[in-house]
Structure 1
Amino acid sequence: MTDPMILSGTSSNLDSLRSQLIAGSEKVQLQIIPQLAELGNQGLEVIQEFLWQRREQTPTPVDGKIYQLLYSCGVPEIKDFLQVNFPQGVVPLKSEQGIDYIPLVELLAISDFQAADRLTIQKMCELAGEEALKRKWLYFTEVENFPVTDLQTMNQLWFVYSEGKFGFSVQREIWLGLGKSFESLWTKINWKKGNTWTRYPNEFTWDLTAPRGHLPLSNQLRGVRVIASLFSHPAWDNKK
């Protein structure tokens, strides 16, 4: 028989964590989510309910963290819950060109950032057209013509499913903070060490221990003209 004192302690801890999840800052919430999951089904129910209550709000990294955890927990009832209520994840998959972003969601949901990075450049080439798909890289003029909606969708996917660490908007924010110095940016996000470019793929960090802004890489974007076009894109004028 389970000790009543243990049950009482677990219930008290659950209530405390629930309160912190509801009222805490985003930083606190991100810390609380895995602690709740460690409490088993009761903890999972708390974060599942929290995600459901936030379904009409603009998704944040907290929603992404919860979705990733529930997506990977292996509980059939929770899997059904996600399929019914969040069939495309927590980020609206808007596209002006009918691009399918579900495969990108599936990779980000399991934090396979290396595969997600490869798929991101593929999706960018899809936006640019057949010629870009064939060559597998982009001209800066093609980036200039990207639909605002699609660029915002890809960026939001990376941002929401990385605890707010990754995304084009994050890289742009860092670049602006460095006085628009690309050389400083390369060093800051660890794309370059001294005069040596970081080698793809083994020298890059494909998890959340990476520096803020490290991903998405889309390796060829390190060319200044292409990434400059990306950072000056009107998508960031009305970024959500």
Structure 2
Amino acid sequence: MPDNTKQPREYDAVLGGQAPPPIDGLVLGGIEGVKHRLDSNSQESRIAALSDALKYGKEGQELLNQIFLTETGLLQWVAYDLLFQSATEDEKQNLLQHIPLQSEVGADYSSLRNLLASGEWLQANLETREKIQEAVGSKNQYYYHMYDLHNLSQTDLRTIDQLWVKFSNNHFGFSIQKRILLEEGCQFYKNKFHLRSFYNPNYRHNINNIYDTYKKLGWPLAILKASQFSFNSSAIGSLPSMITEKQVRHALDYQIVLIYRSDL
């Protein structure tokens, strides 16, 4: 059976748009076209090229694997996500052992990864709070202000979020919480303190609006205890939670900032 993976297909990019290419022109087709687009200076173009790679079977997967092993930052995450989405269950288990632990401040997320890998969800929740405090530069302080969350790099937030998303199989994660809130019709806005919050148009726009939304979704409004927690019975998006024994309202303010920024 002939190998046509290098031949242009209906979704390939062609220089010159809709016009026929000149006799000596270049057709950006097949896997070679994907590789050419990966040399672009535009990150958006490179990400789009990666998304097309899987259309070319084994060669596309090999290219994604190469990018995952050699690149850093968002491009590495995109390659990893695409490999993960197309993997078998056994392949996913292997990929989980190599999930990127990127940090712009030198934070070590291996302990969080190990807790999530072993299904120690509540301990991982505590570790998440500590790692966020470390990543915003307040590791040795008793507490940090929610404004400090602006110091949390998108790289570190993505690492924390994706560890939760991948190891829970899309059950937990800040970005999972954001998706659910948007599906509920919730709208994000800047409050009087210039911080992100949200309101649910299904409830009165008052101080209880967020509480009512959390109650409906089954998300915690108190600290979770091991005797009361089970992964199988937990609501989708219920973790991670920033709520502590002494803080609920302020903890939700912290949480919403993280939720809003989780997939930016």
Calculate the TM-score normalised by the size of structure 1.
0.57
User: What is the aligned counterpart of 1:140 among 122, 137, 146?
Assistant: 146
User: What is the aligned counterpart of 2:231 among 183, 207, 211?
Assistant: 207
Give the corresponding residue for 1:112: 120
How many Å apart are 1:168 and its aligned residue?
0.4
Unaligned runs of 5+ in 1: 1-51, 71-81
Residues 214-225 of structure 1 aligned to structure 2 (within 5 Å): 214-220=238-244, 222=248, 223=250, 224-225=252-253
State the number of aligned residues: 163
How many Å apart are 1:231 and its aligned residue?
2.9
In 2: Cα distance, 1:230 partner to 1:120 partner: 12
Residues 41-52 of structure 1 aligned to structure 2 (within 5 Å): none
How many Å apart are 1:94 and its aligned residue?
0.7
User: What is the aligned counterpart of 1:124 among 111, 123, 132?
Assistant: 132
How many Å apart are 1:62 and its aligned residue?
8.3
Q: CA RMSD in A?
A: 3.1
1:186 aligns with 2:193: no
Give the corresponding residue for 1:22: none
Contact preservation (8 Å) 2:149, 2:257: yes
- CA 212–63 in structure 1, closer or farther in 2 if over 3 Å, else same: farther
- CA 113–173 in structure 1, closer or farther in 2 if over 3 Å, else same: same
Aligned residue for 1:172, secondary structure, equals: helix
Deviations 1:164-211 (A, max 9, x none): 11000111122222324323431144235xxxx444324752424311
Deviations 1:114-145 (A, max 9, x none): 11111110100101223x5432x442101122
Which of the pair has more CA radius of gyration? Answer: 2
Aligned letter for 2:236? R
Contact preservation (8 Å) 2:173, 2:237: yes
Calculate the TM-score normalised by the size of structure 2.
0.52
- Higher relative contact order (CA closer than 8 Å, sequence separation 6+): 1
Task: Give % identity.
Answer: 23
Residues 121-130 or 223-232, more deviating: 223-232
Aligned letter for 1:142? D
Aligned letter for 2:80? T
User: What is the aligned counterpart of 2:80 among 50, 55, 58?
Assistant: 58
In 2: Cα distance, 1:63 partner to 1:110 partner: 21
In 1: Cα distance, 2:91 partner to 2:133 partner: 28
How many Å apart are 1:105 and its aligned residue?
1.0
Aligned residue for 1:118, secondary structure, equals: helix
Aligned letter for 2:176? V
In 2: Cα distance, 1:122 partner to 1:115 partner: 11
In 1: Cα distance, 2:237 partner to 2:254 partner: 17
Contact preservation (8 Å) 1:107, 1:115: yes
Choose between structure 1 and 2: higher helix proportion.
1
Give the corresponding residue for 2:44: none
Give the corresponding residue for 2:260: 232
Aligned residue for 1:232, secondary structure, equals: helix
Residues 103-112 or 154-163, more deviating: 103-112
